[in-house]
Amino acid sequence: MEPQIFSSIPLSLKVPDVYRALGYSQDKTVLKEALKKEVDACIEDAKGCIQLKGAALRVSVKTIEKHTVILEKDIIFKSRDLANFLKGSSEILLMGATAGKFVMEKMAEKFNQNNFTCAVVYNATAGEMADEALTWITDYFRPQMTRERLAIGSRRFSVGYGDLAIEYQEIIWHLLRLENIGITITPECFLIPEKSVTAICGVRPLG
Amino acid sequence: MRNKIKKLLTKRVLILDGATGTELQKRGMPHGVCPEAWCIEHPNVIAQIHREYQESGADIIYTCTFGANPHKLKQYNISDVEGVNAKLARIARATVTANGLVAGSIGPTGEFVEPFGLLKFEEAVLAFKRQIKGLIDGGVDLLVIETMMDIQEARAALIAAKEVSDKFIMVTMTVEKHGRTLNGTDPLTALVTLQSLGADAVGCNCSTGPKEMDAFIKKMKPYATVPLIAKPNAGLPQLKDGRTIFQMGPIEFAKFAKNIAEHGANMIGGCCGTTPEHIKAVRNILNVFHPKPITRKSLRALSSASTHFIFEDNKKTAIVGEGINPTRRKALQQELREEKTSLVRQLAKEQELGGAELLDVNVGAPGVDEEKALVNVINALSVASKLPLVIDSSNPSAVEKALRVYPGRALINSISAEKKMESLLKIASKHGAMFIALPVGIKGVPKTFDERKKNIQKIIAAASREGLTKDDIVVDGLVMAVSADPKAGAETLETVRWCRQEAKVATIVGLSNVSFGLPQRDELNATFFHLLKKQGVSLVIANPSHLSHARSVKAEKVLLGKDHEAREFIAYAGKLKGQGKEEKREASNPKDLIYNAILDGNREDIQNFIVAAEVQGIPLSDIVNHVMIPAINKVGEFFEQKRYFLPQLIASAEAMKLAFDYIDPKLQTKKVGEVQKTVVILATVHGDIHDIGKNIVSLMLKNHGFHVVDLGKDVSAERIIGEIRRHKSPIVALSALMTTTMVNMEEVMRLAKKENLKCHFMLGGAVVTKDYSDQLGAEYSKDGVEAVRVARRLAAGG
């Protein structure tokens, strides 16, 4: 099972999404022009530091039982919530993405320079972009799957959701060979760089 | 055959076939097999599909070779790429009757091509060449490169096709409903790139239904120099009873197809979800439809992978950023020698933000391998910047290598009427690039406008012999320094006027040369920019940040040769030199200014406002207690009401911190604000590396007068206990982001209890909840504002 590597994911970031992640409310937040300019400039800077990469792997589903999902090569996920989520799926799409090391270093640098405002904007921008990269990956597979009369779900499931234990992060990390895109994993199952994410999508027969 | 197809396209809209993959599955192809291998094993099934499409009225039938490239076939352990393609092409050719055409289908490799992926550009070209050779052996009439989401991969396939054959080549990109391919290319940008590179027809297939595709065709048509193609899905997929289906029927599909034809598509078929019935309905509705003609023979436009730049008469003058040039830039020279690109990317970003619409790229410097460096920088910029590039080199080999890998249509800077002219024009023509015509001849730089004109005409004539048109040319106005030649400015302005009004070609001027050797260069440059704009110059090469300077009449006189030896201007510049910067306005009510500075997150001025308050004799303790603390409390209130979002909260906290940085050393008393300096131990617990939330809490607590001992992240329980004991801290704030590390909070509390330490615990972090905190007997804070409130309550003994 060879994961597909995306060494550079070309996303055009939706700035309003970063604002939303920072708590901006269209109806309530009152923002002065000077600070808006500063936040926008920080988002632009952060974008320049983000090196968005990803990996994905299609894995066939052998069986889905009440509390267990068994994939090809007998990869087992014990989780009732995941089993529910994948009901009817013939395969899954495993995905991982990272905003890269450089933006995290720059964020730390901003903190050390007491530029906290910029640091929190960097943090939110990197988080949004890593997350959006997963959407990009599912969009990448969608037409290909449609040709195979398969439909990929738009919802995603990740470790830590429901009863899917965080320890499964390590299995996903191995399957996706995330070290190839610069992601390492700690004994506590944290992905490093910090703004790195993984997710599972269900794939069902079309029509 | 190529000409036959072109002729046919002038007479009617050519009908393409519909979906193949879904038809194969309906007819028994199992899931998970290699479609190409299955079709070779079941030739009658694919032949029947071809036949049904032709009988439904399709003029062009695609071979079932969408995935028959070396990379896709390798996944099924098939290595005979040429053989598979030839066999499937023969099946199609033998099935389709003489009045139909067979198009060899070339789909994506499934890998991204550099600079967007790991697949080397030349490897991609070679892979496509193998497939195309097989298709041609099998007797296809034309080639179709389809369903491309990566413009670079489409280019690689197109280059391969052109290098292997002279067949008619169609190229279609797969554009999402939001109007771009997944790799970020919009249809018009793809059109600019692909038609200039030699595609015979360009368009879209898959991803969207006919309604959405109609909008893409509409956008492309005014700029198309080639026929347009539309091959949409049968609508957008819909979820019905838990199943995803394409539900647009043949009649509705055909109505949309007619709209698409009316908006300019010359070749129309169907993709996913379409059937022979859909194609039959399209044929019927378009049977007597006369195709919309192509309205232009050439297009003056550039592109990158994600955007285009179209030269239009009513368009304002655009700036070509000149920053990526190692001349007199040691750091950039060093970077280029080390084959790094971080400074290049930074310079690109700065110029883009400064308003540049194109980027000039020059890598010529001592010790730099120009051919290698140019390709390296082009690849880096293609990812880092959306702006189209101007390739600035006089080395034909370097220019050719750069053009081959550049995923757009570039502008060559430059070609002059000298010995390299012929070879560079051939390169421009082969790669479909535009070029800057530098009116310099064998005798060197002409001083007069008439000499320039002769050189320009010579280059235009030579370009025409290579199949290039006036739309491919941008003439350099060749500006020289007015300090050396007072008429230089006027000569350039006349060149620009003549090019625009009489020769009808676009123009460019390297702006900063004009002011060389004079003071106040930004003012002179900005004024010359204004004069050039009046003459209708298309582009100026400049540093965008230098053009915001106010223009002046004095500068204008120098540039038009009306100020002898620039004497008047030099005297004026001398007077300016002595003048200082504008003074900052004085604060009228320092207390209000400080209050507002915290509310507005004004970090720049807050310390000045405090100094002003001190000068007026306002005690610092009064400023802290009656101005700053109420202000930061108000900020907290606004944050909780969502009137402020996180950056506002943090900017205010930063302003507050700067105020304390100034005030703290001056205050004699230990008491600051309302709260005694209570010590708070703060840490992200062992195993956890996330600290942004903790850092925000630290900043907020400090601003409210707490003495925060921030132990950092991944801190062991033993160390936290040691620090509690050492500081006799009454409050300990712990943070964790994951459930796996959250349990380490419990460990710290267990140890503290064991050692009988009297302190309150506050917990926070993404996964921590109030319930969890309650269970452990700790306080919970959801964010920095709440952390302050809880800490104040605990400090007050609550």
* Residue-wise pLDDT tens digits, A145-172: 887 778 888 899 999 888 999 899 999 9
Chain B residues inside the 8 Å CB shell of A149: 21-22, 25, 31
Give the mean pLDDT of B408-423.
Answer: 92
Label residue B672 by pLDDT band (50, 70, 90). Answer: very low
- Regarding an ipTM greater than 0.95, the answer is no
Q: Does B284 touch chain A (CB under 8 A)?
A: no
Cβ-contact A49, A122 below 8 angstroms: yes
Range of A6-15, B5-14, B552-561 with top mean pLDDT: B5-14
Cβ-contact B392, B365 below 8 angstroms: no
Higher pLDDT among residues B778 and B558, named by residue: B778
Cβ-contact B460, B437 below 8 angstroms: yes
Give the mean pLDDT of B664-668.
Answer: 73
Name residue, tokens 């703060």. Answer: B682
Which residue, among A56, A93, A49, A42, has the nearest Cα to A195 in the 3D structure? A49
Q: Does B150 touch chain A (CB under 8 A)?
A: no
Cβ-contact B631, B594 below 8 angstroms: yes
Which residue of B111, B653, B739 is in closest CB contact with A116?
Answer: B653
- Count residue pairs from A and B with Cβ separation < 8 A: 164
Report A:25-54 residues touching B (Cβ under 8 A): 25, 28-32, 34-35, 38-39, 42, 44, 48
User: Does the distance separating the beta carbons of A115 and B696 come in below 8 Å?
Assistant: no
- Is the predicted pLDDT of residue B564 greater than 80, yes or no? no
* Residue-wise pLDDT tens digits, B597-649: 999 888 888 888 888 888 888 888 888 888 998 898 889 889 888 889 988 99
* Residue-wise pLDDT tens digits, A41-50: 999 889 888 9
Give residue B204's pLDDT: 97
What does the alpha-carbon distance between residue B229 and residue B168 come to, in Å, rounded to a whole number? Answer: 13
Q: Which are the contacts of B491, defined by CB distance < 8 A and separation ≥ 6?
A: B447, B448, B449, B452, B480
Packed helices B43-56 and B81-95: angle between N→C axes, nearest 10 degrees: 50
Label residue B243 by pLDDT band (50, 70, 90). Answer: low
Chain B residues inside the 8 Å CB shell of A59: none
Give the mean pLDDT of B299-308.
Answer: 96
The phi-psi region of residue B139 (left if phi > 0; otherwise alpha if psi is between -120 and 50; otherwise beta) is: left
Name residue, tokens 């000569």. Answer: B491
Burial label for B314, CB within 10 Å (0-12, 13-18, 19+), is: exposed
Q: Which are the contacts of B619, defined by CB distance < 8 A and separation ≥ 6?
A: none
**How big, in percent rounded to 5, are the helix, strand and coil portions of chain B?**
50, 15, 35
Residue B529 backbone dihedrals phi, psi, to 5 degrees: -55, -45
SS3 B707: strand
DSSP state of B503: I
* CA-based R_g, chain A, Å: 18
User: Does the distance separating the beta carbons of A6 and B117 come in below 8 Å?
Assistant: yes
What does the alpha-carbon distance between residue B205 and residue B217 come to, in Å, rounded to a whole number? Answer: 11
Amino acid at A45: D
User: How many angstroms separate the CA of residue B245 from the nearest CA in chain A?
Assistant: 5
- Is the predicted pLDDT of residue B131 greater than 80, yes or no? yes
What does the alpha-carbon distance between residue B397 and residue B212 come to, in Å, rounded to a whole number? Answer: 42
* Residue-wise pLDDT tens digits, B538-548: 999 988 777 66
Mean pLDDT lowest among A145-154, B255-264, B295-304:
A145-154
Q: How many CB atoms lie within 10 A of CB B317?
A: 19
User: How many angstroms separate the CA of residue A193 from the nearest CA in chain B?
Assistant: 10
Give the mean pLDDT of B484-511.
Answer: 90
What does the alpha-carbon distance between residue A94 and residue A105 come to, in Å, rounded to a whole number? Answer: 27
Q: How many CB atoms lie within 10 A of CB B442?
A: 9
User: Does the distance separating the beta carbons of A120 and B646 come in below 8 Å?
Assistant: yes
User: Does the distance separating the beta carbons of A143 and B739 come in below 8 Å?
Assistant: no
User: Does the distance separating the beta carbons of A34 and B600 come in below 8 Å?
Assistant: yes
User: Does the distance separating the beta carbons of B646 and A116 come in below 8 Å?
Assistant: no
User: Does the distance separating the beta carbons of A151 and B244 come in below 8 Å?
Assistant: yes
User: DSSP labels for B394-420?
Assistant: S-HHHHHHHHHH-SS--EEEEEESSTT
User: How many angstroms separate the CA of residue A64 from the nearest CA in chain B?
Assistant: 18
Is the pTM higher than 0.90? The answer reads no
Cβ-contact B199, B432 below 8 angstroms: no
Which residue of B384, B639, B687 is in closest CB contact with A188?
Answer: B687
